Amino acid sequence: MQRKMRGRGVAASWYGIARTATVDRAGAWAELDDGGTAKVVTGVTEIGEGILTVLAQIAAEELGIRPEDVTIGDNDTARSPEAAHAGATRQTYMIGNSVALACREAKARLFAEIAAHWEVDAGTLVAFDGELRAEGTNLAMTMAEAVDLCKRRGVVPVGAGHFAAHGTGLNPEDGSGAPWQAYVFGTQVAEVEVDTVTGEVQVLGLWAAHDVGRVINPRGVEGQIEGGVVQGLGQALMEDYQTANGHPVTHGFAKYILPTALDVPEITSILVEDPDPLSPLGAKGIGEPALVPTAPAIINAIHDAVGVRIRSLPATPEKVLAAIAEKQARAAAAREAAE
Amino acid sequence: MLTFDRYEMPATLPEALALWADAPEGARLVAGATDILPWAREGRAGDVDLPLGIDLSRVAELQGHERHGSRVRLGANTVWQDFLDDAQLARWLPVMPHCAVWFADDQIRQQATLAGNLVNASPAADGTPPVLALNGELELCRWAGDHILCRTMRVEDFVTGPGATRLAPGELVNSVTLDCADGYGASFQKVGQRRSLVISVACVAALVKLDETGTRFADVRLALGGVGPVPERLRDIEDRLKGEPVDTRLIEDAAAATAARVASRSRVDYRRRVVPGFVCAALEEAAERARVAQRKEALHA
Amino acid sequence: MPEMTLDMRVNGRKVTRRADPGQRLLDFLRDELNLTGTKEGCGAGECGTCSVFVDGKLVKSCLMPAAKAQGADIQTVEGLARPGELDVLQKAFHKTGASQCGYCIPGMVMAATSLLREAPEASLDEIKERMGGNICRCTGYTKIIEAVALARDVVTGRASPAVLEPEGVGESYIGHNVRRLDAPSKVTGRLKYAGDMVMPGMLHMAVLRSPHAHAEIVSIDTSEAEAVEGVACVITSADVPGKDGFGVFVHDQPVMARGKVRHVGEAVAAVAAEDVATARRALAKIRVEYRELPGLFDPEDALRPGAPVIHDYAPDNVVKHIPIRKGDVDKGFAEADLILEDEFSTQQVEHAYLEPEAGLAYVDADDVVTVISPSQNITHHRHMLSEIIARPINKVRFIMSPVGGGFGGKEDMIYQGMLALAAMKTDRPVRLVFTREESIIASAKRHPSRVKYRMGLTKDGRITAIRFEMLSDGGAYGMSSEGVMRKAAILSCGPYEIENLQVDTTAVYTNNTPSGAFRTFGGMQAQFATESMMDIAAERLGLDPFEIRRRNMMRAGSLTHTQQRLTSASIDRVLEAAEQASRWEPGAPTMRGPMRGDLGGPGTRAPCTLGARFETPKDSKERVA
């Protein structure tokens, strides 16, 4: 065997969007504000996934203004409607749709006033990027002017929205039920190099194809995939929280080994859009699903490279080398038996 | 959490030694501080209050380096980054940059000292094998009431076990002196679980000088770390190779013997499997680099 | 505590303070100078979030006693650009979406600044190598490296500064790469996480944690600790006025250990004091008498008859068992040409968000008990705290501070209750910041799993039946175990339509560190086993791995494992997309690596051998900023 052996593996996966086997729900408020800006209030904040930007994009699109004109607050149980938890790949789906619906209501209030002012049908009004116009006419004004006009007519353009995802509980006997209304699927291919002297595995390339529903922010989705893949790589190859009789032995980052910039592969993300028919936005999610196929793709690639099957994570250099040695010993024994 | 009742920053060696000589029980010398601060945390020493910390980083006598003939004397405050930034040191000590690049990370190398790495005497210390290969010697000094007393000791004799050395009470490391190895090809190999900030499971330092034909080993230096209580110089293998032709089969044979050197208490099987291949790779890489160095020299001449 | 006058130039301004010379430079910058852009991620030099320049050299300020910086010129992330502006690197981070939670980002920006100053011509490999001392848990580093390369190109004149400008919008903001709105505050270190926040009169909390895995608490004597000067209060479970229990599904965990401890690191008591050092000193004076109990450390042992009982309400130690049945597995296995049996296991995994748990609690003028923390579920935490402190729900307020990484690990209310109790007891704001070690031992982990797998297939690769049995160590408390077992069961057999299956997932109590919510919530553990089996089956049947997956995949109209009818299933599309993008060469997975023709092409990197910087000529070195 050469010292450095390469191989490839694939793994597929699926995942459900939002909370499991229950009715998930969230709420939001919106207000078209002075200067053609907007306030959006909902009960969660950023955990790093980019939800604030996604919500600002959704609000901007729905209200006809720019994302930077949107102010998002307030992550506060005493000041904002319930949005429940920041997890379960539910932020874009649950909060995003709530915000879209709240914005639609606020915009409808504004459009009703402007339509009356222009004496046109509200259905002809189109707003985008801070400009409002009535289709089929040369009537136009900025959203700042529109909000001002709306307020002078005695109307503050506010809206509230809520969104529910109707999962059902599982039957306690046979587990039957409809735990989610939206599903996503993913497939990843990993290319690895195994050092047969040390047992070290490097992941050199990773292709990740994921259905995320309608994409709101492509870079944001890629960021979630890249982060998920590297967490999956950590679990596949190095991370291992250990205890001895309940006493943690990996009590710091010197012992609990995380991937560094030198350990990550080149990652190619392929975004597949299968829009969700049951929600206004059609977006689904990617936070958690990105991680699911990574470890098995890497483990399958190790098998392709050196012919050993790692059944217990992580595939540390020690484990990989022991498996190679065992395989060679088996082959030698088989040869001997044959002779 | 580490706290000090007193924290001193002496500017000269006599001041430092005088402080150290009178230091209360439990006082500690602080060089780069990159080991002592992580040590005083939960899971290791926990909260520690020390009566006195003597910070050596401003002691003038411990700075810099100078070459005397075929040896180079490194002041004890020489940090790991110096082996990457100082072209002269890199030329004199060709194994050190390869070791340095594996040592912790860019930030820690700005603070962590070679001397500190040796004194900590971790069985997995990256610094010890290359120093052993370069016949490293320490100058140990202490305060004798009105003058400084110094002695020298080979690093091979200095490190006696995990965390244990022959440093006497009141002594500190003044300098590390190494063989210059201009013209040698060098290699440092390390295996851990990732490729930065990695603690060695095993590491090896190799230096090779070729004869004028470029086909035979004129000199070989080889040392292993992480495979027993103390890093070890592999003189028998060096001797076996010296004068012999650079030949893969020969290197493999010589390296095969290293598996028996593994005396660690953990991961013994793994270390035994890794080490021979590892030593081979180090020797081959060092020989290849020696060839490149020789060709370059020929080109210049 | 010793004091000396520390003189430095910090971000161009002269600073003189009487301070403890032995304290870390990190603490001096954060506590004395309020420069909180410099973060503490681990306190042990292992993560890089605290990186600052000292006389032009980048160091980790958690490893440097402040005295070492005496007389030095210090530059922190706050000093890179003028207020309201971004420098080239910060703009590049903004452009590529390099910041996610943002907690590692100031350190990343500092490391990148150092590398562009030292090696402006650095190759991609050298960039990665020089940033190897900085850990990021969110981004997978990819967009960070992209940002640094972009900045390098602008700085060296290879690219126009225009590449840093935002992309123009077309007809819609949906599907558009709008730059992250929160990035400027993250790349400049301006964003305040809970541990960066201060309030006038604020106390600092430290937590006494159990040294035993399973022990009865005979007595707790806090009198000596309470007498320590600077201590405002000591709290134990005796201070809980309401119903003492929290958990994502079952409320089985007290705010602090009540009667017994169930894992090493469990909170037993807490001290609020004028500063952290005093609080930690007082902890050592709390006397706790324990009587050790036999412990359970293996999930199989937890199920044995006569095993020690961890929670009285669960005498069998089972947190949750989820069964799923579909079709007739006996019939399915009878129809199989090939039956494979195997076992798989996955380990406990730490979330390792770079921001350790932190929070700040106070009682406001309207008697509302308020907790600011990076909680991933303020709605549920509010419900639970209201019961714990026996106050109406509108007198409990949770504010979600910016989360420096969560991944599920900040769904458990493991410290907010203590903060609320201390704030109520002292009527002062109280802050708690976990150390990294504390975060690791006290917070939940990804569930480890053991899966016994039996799969029946026909010769042409069609799965006829699956029996899937997962046992998982839930650790000392229920946390999210119930939900994790449910999701693992629902997703267990992967994106395949299986006619006959029998799935059981079970989590049990032990005295190990609790397992809880972690990105995928059981999904990855289960599908690791399934996807390994798919390849084992493909090898045995001589089928290409994509092909065997296609022969079994779900389609529109398929019945899932829980017998839900799918209206659409994009698995065919993602399989095809991955196959094409990777230029997959078809064939059975029989250690084909040495013969493959599709290796090493576009989309792969070269293997990493350290020393990329030796390839860049030294004389190209010049200062950038």
Question: What is the per-residue DSSP string for A298-315?
Answer: HHHHHHHHHS----BS--
**C-alpha pair distances (Å), B61 with each of A102, B14, B86, B141, C69:** 71, 9, 19, 12, 19
Average of pLDDT values for B279-300?
92
Average of pLDDT values for C116-137?
97
The C-alpha atoms of residue B171 and residue C395 are separated, in whole angstroms, by 63
- Same-domain check for residues C46 and C126: no
Residue C257: CATH number of its domain: 3.90.1170.50
Q: Is residue C426, in this structure, part of any structural domain at all?
A: yes
The C-alpha atoms of residue A231 and residue C135 are separated, in whole angstroms, by 12
The tens digit of pLDDT for each residue in A111-159 reads 999 999 999 999 999 999 999 999 999 999 999 999 999 999 999 999 9
Structural domains in chain C (count)? 3
pLDDT string in tens for chain A (339-residue length): 799 999 999 999 999 999 999 999 999 999 999 999 999 999 988 999 999 999 999 999 999 999 999 999 889 999 999 988 899 999 999 999 999 999 999 999 999 999 999 999 999 999 999 999 999 999 999 999 999 999 999 999 999 999 999 999 999 999 999 999 999 999 999 999 999 999 999 999 999 999 999 999 999 999 999 999 999 999 999 999 999 999 999 999 999 999 999 999 999 999 999 999 999 999 999 999 999 999 999 999 999 999 999 999 999 999 999 999 999 999 999 999 988
Average of pLDDT values for C325-345?
98
Q: What's the pLDDT band for C261 if we cut at 50, 70, 90? A: very high
| Cα-only R_g, chain C | 28
- Residue C467: CB partners within 8 Å, gap ≥ 6? C329, C452, C453, C454, C501, C502, C503
Which residues in chain C are contacts of A177 at CB distance < 8 A?
562-564
Q: Is residue C387, in this structure, part of any structural domain at all?
A: yes
- pLDDT value of position C617: 56
- Same-domain check for residues C379 and C277: yes
Q: What is the pTM of this model?
A: 0.98
The C-alpha atoms of residue C102 and residue C49 are separated, in whole angstroms, by 10
Q: Do C261 and C290 contact (CB within 8 A), yes or no?
A: yes
Does the distance separating the beta carbons of A261 and B41 come in below 8 Å?
no
The tens digit of pLDDT for each residue in C467-485 reads 999 999 999 999 999 999 9
- Same-domain check for residues C275 and C381: yes
Q: What's the pLDDT band for C622 if we cut at 50, 70, 90? A: very low
Domain that includes residue C48, residue range? 4-79
Predicted ipTM of the assembly: 0.97
The token pair at A74 is 């307030």
The tens digit of pLDDT for each residue in C404-444 reads 999 999 999 999 999 999 999 999 999 999 999 999 999 99
Query: Final residue of a domain: which of C437, C463, C489?
Result: C437
- Same-domain check for residues C240 and C273: yes
Nearest to C58 among B3, B104, B106 (CB): B106
CB pairs under 8 A between A and B: 59
The token pair at C465 is 């039946």
- Same-domain check for residues C380 and C286: yes
Q: Is residue C283, in this structure, part of any structural domain at all?
A: yes
* Strand locations in C476-519 (E): 501-509, 515-516
Q: Mapping DSSP to helix (H, G, I), strand (E, B) and coil, where does residue C179 land? A: coil
Q: Which of A31, A49, A288, A326 is catalytic?
A: A288
Q: What's the pLDDT band for C623 if we cut at 50, 70, 90? A: very low
- Same-domain check for residues C155 and C268: no
Does the distance separating the beta carbons of A58 and C180 come in below 8 Å?
no
The C-alpha atoms of residue C502 and residue C489 are separated, in whole angstroms, by 10
Average of pLDDT values for B60-84?
98
Nearest chain B CA: its distance from C93 CA (Å) = 21
Angle CA A245–C348–B269, to nearest 5: 70
The tens digit of pLDDT for each residue in C541-551 reads 999 999 999 99
Q: Do C206 and C254 contact (CB within 8 A), yes or no?
A: no
The C-alpha atoms of residue A168 and residue C47 are separated, in whole angstroms, by 43
Average of pLDDT values for C264-272?
98
- The sign of the torsion formed by the CA atoms of C205, C211, C215, C220 equals negative
Please spell the DSSP secondary structure of C248-314, one letter per residue.
SSS--B-SS-BSEE-STT-EEEEEEESSHHHHHHHHTT-EEEEEE-----SHHHHHSTTPPPSSTT-
Query: Final residue of a domain: which of C437, C464, C490?
Result: C437
Angle CA B165–B84–B59, to nearest 5: 55
User: A145-148: which pairs have CB atoms within 8 A and are 24 or more residues apart?
Assistant: A145/A36, A146/A32, A146/A36, A146/A110, A146/A114, A147/A32, A147/A33, A147/A34, A147/A35, A147/A36, A147/A110, A148/A34
Encode B71-103: b = buried (16+ Cβ within 10 Å), e = exposed.
bbbbbbbbbbbbbbbbeebbebbbbbbbbbbbb
Q: How many CB atoms lie within 10 A of CB C313?
A: 9
**Average pLDDT over all residues of chain C:** 97
- Same-domain check for residues C281 and C416: yes
Q: What's the pLDDT band for B157 if we cut at 50, 70, 90? A: very high
- Residues 230-259, chain A, touching C (beta carbon < 8 A): 230-232, 234-235, 239-243, 245-248, 250-254, 256, 258
- Same-domain check for residues C380 and C262: yes
Query: Final residue of a domain: which of C36, C54, C79?
Result: C79
Which of 1.10.3720.10, 1.10.10.10, 2.40.30.20, 3.30.365.10 would CATH assign to domain A23-165?
A: 3.30.365.10
The tens digit of pLDDT for each residue in A23-68 reads 999 999 999 999 999 999 999 889 999 999 999 999 999 999 999 9
Task: Find, in chain B, the residue whose alpha carbon is nearest to that of A203.
Answer: B194
- Residue C215: CB partners within 8 Å, gap ≥ 6? C260, C261, C290, C291, C292, C293
Nearest to B191 among A200, A237, A257 (CB): A200
- Same-domain check for residues C389 and C260: yes
- Same-domain check for residues C29 and C107: no
- pLDDT value of position A84: 84
Nearest to B33 among C4, C64, C115 (CB): C64
Q: Is the peptide bond before A314 cis (omega within 30 degrees of 0)?
A: yes
CATH topology of domain A4-16+181-334: Aldehyde Oxidoreductase; domain 4 (3.30.365)
Average of pLDDT values for C291-307?
98
Query: To the nearest 10°, the Cα dihedral for C491, C497, C500, C505?
Result: 0
Q: What's the pLDDT band for B265 if we cut at 50, 70, 90? A: confident
Domain(s) labelled CATH 3.30.365.10 in chain A stretch across 4-16+181-334, 23-165
**Average pLDDT over all residues of chain A:** 97
Which residues in chain C are contacts of A187 at CB distance < 8 A?
549, 571, 574-575, 577-579
Tell me, yes or no, if A273 is annotated catalytic: no
The tens digit of pLDDT for each residue in B200-236 reads 889 999 999 999 999 999 999 999 999 999 999 999 9
- pLDDT value of position A247: 97
Burial-class residue C385 by CB neighbours within 10 Å (0-12, 13-18, 19+).
buried
Does the distance separating the beta carbons of C1 and B110 come in below 8 Å?
no
Residue C128: CATH number of its domain: 1.10.150.120
- pLDDT of C396 > 90? The answer is yes
Does the distance separating the beta carbons of B1 and C277 come in below 8 Å?
yes
